[in-house]
Amino acid sequence: MIGRLKGTLVSKQPPWLVIDVGGVGYELEAPLSTVFDLPETGREVTLFTHYAVKEDTVALYGFLREHERVLFRTLQKVSGIGAKTALAVLSGTSPDEFARLVQTGDAAALTRIPGIGKKTAERIIVELRDRVDGIALAMPSASGGVVPKDPLAEASVALQQLGYKPVEVARLVKAAAEPGDTAESIIRKALKAALR
């Protein structure tokens, strides 16, 4: 199994990444939250990975943060949720926001995430309500505090709730976001750009 990769970021084509590790280029699929937080190509990166082998495919998924990988794996334990939907969840909402939606039983908000219908949202709430605590809400940061909400993920969810398609959301957020921006400022700039 491949649990972690450290190498040079060669390519970023959301949701795909290529990382050169000792002359071998590993192609990974990653959530938008990871893609947006990576440095420019040519820089060194370290990603947590999930190696998936199925009957007809082999895939490698990359995550900047361990709690994202934990949530990705936990989501796939829910009946009817595969890797694509798990990536959509991580691309559309931060782990702490997802945990909040599950704990409050907000099925309507969960259905706004691409790939999740009403029945799947209800199944997620029933099956994960007791498990999400440890994944996101109490995830410690390096300073010992609670990890702050991810402004990029929050802005992405908000734009999707306004009816923008995930591909368009990725483009708008990437163009609008600058280091230190809040979710609100990213949304404002993205909406101005969309209306031009």
Find, among 19, 155, 8, 131, the residue nearest to 67 by Cα.
Answer: 131
Q: Please give the mean pLDDT across all residues of the chain.
A: 83
- Report d(CA 48, CA 182) in Å as an integer: 26
- Report d(CA 47, CA 83) in Å as an integer: 17
Class at the top of the CATH hierarchy for domain 151-195 = mainly alpha
Q: Where are the domains of the chain?
A: 4-63, 67-137, 151-195
Quick check: 71 and 84 in contact, CB under 8 A?
Answer: no
| DSSP assignment letter at 137 | I
Q: Evaluate whether the domain defined by 67-137 bears CATH number 2.60.40.10.
A: no
Class at the top of the CATH hierarchy for domain 4-63 = mainly beta
Structure tokens at 191: 């909406």
Whether 4-63 and 151-195 share one fold: the answer is no
103-118 confidence digits (pLDDT tens): 888 898 888 887 788 9
Whether the pTM exceeds 0.85: the reply is no
Quick check: 75 and 81 in contact, CB under 8 A?
Answer: yes
Q: How far is CA 69 from the centre of its chain?
A: 9
User: How large a percentage of the chain has pLDDT more than 70?
Assistant: 90
129-152 confidence digits (pLDDT tens): 877 655 543 344 333 333 345 778
- Give the pLDDT of residue 134: 54
Which carries the bigger pLDDT value, residue 10 or residue 185? 10
Task: Scan for tokens 């934990």, then name that residue.
Answer: 70
- Give the pLDDT of residue 19: 96
Going through the chain in order, the beta strands assigned E by DSSP cover: 4-13, 16-21, 24-29, 44-53, 58-63
45-80 confidence digits (pLDDT tens): 999 999 988 888 899 999 998 889 988 998 998 888
